[in-house]
Amino acid sequence: MAAGAVAYGAMNESLRVVTLCTGNVARSVMLASMLEVLGPDSGHPLEVRSAGTHALEGAAVSMRTRDAMRALAELPEISLNAHRSHQLELADLEWADLVLGAEADHVRYVRREFPAFSLSCCTIGQFVRQAPLDDPWSIQVAVVSANDPDPSFDVADPAGGDQAAYDACASHLVDLAQVFLTVLG
């Protein structure tokens, strides 16, 4: 948990989540938007930011990312027009209670560059499959982040792919987001 953070659930405090991918123009942006939209209806108050491990600061989201998000029937219309990519920095990690990477390499990046935050970072795929049910989120994160990041849980990067790759990524992420909100203690 970030220094000075109030435990999630105490006094209706929000869980602060940073979603993380490589360039912060597709996967992390999609997941952040999904959690912001789906979180309130799930009963989990969330504050969400997104970042990249190797982001070109200020880059816009691609049209394929926007089109993939528009195609999701599970979500109301989400505008990604204002989003600009952001490189993960210490202030993001200090703010966050949890960092959800799209792939094992993102977790390894945090562990290498910001080792003090290793125990608050895991992939969303690994979290939804390994988090102990009915435990508080802090225990869930500690259990999952104590494991080595497993690339078999990665969300494939659609970069360089066609619209079908972006659509498949968005579909996979919305499924993971829904399970995450169900599993979240």
Higher pLDDT pick, 27 / 75:
27
In three-state secondary structure terms, 138 is: helix
Domain assignment present for residue 3? The answer is no
In percent, how much of the chain has pLDDT > 70?
Answer: 89
Domain assignment present for residue 116? The answer is yes
pTM greater than 0.85? yes
Residue 124 sits in a domain of what CATH number? 3.40.50.2300
d(CA 43, CA 88): 28
User: What domain range is 176 assigned to?
Assistant: 10-183
Question: What digits encode the pLDDT tens for the residues 93-149?
Answer: 999 999 999 999 999 999 999 999 999 999 999 999 999 998 998 899 999 999 999
Domain assignment present for residue 2? The answer is no
Question: What digits encode the pLDDT tens for the residues 145-168?
Answer: 999 999 999 999 999 999 999 999
C-alpha count within 13 angstroms, C-beta hemisphere, residue 84: 4
- Structural domain count, the chain: 1
Domain assignment present for residue 1? The answer is no
Domain assignment present for residue 4? The answer is no
- Indicate the DSSP class of residue 115: G
Strands (E), 53-167: 98-101, 121-123
The encoded tokens of residue 173 equal 């992420």
Domain assignment present for residue 5? The answer is no
- Indicate the DSSP class of residue 7: P
Domain assignment present for residue 109? The answer is yes
Domain assignment present for residue 34? The answer is yes
d(CA 27, CA 109): 16
d(CA 166, CA 171): 9
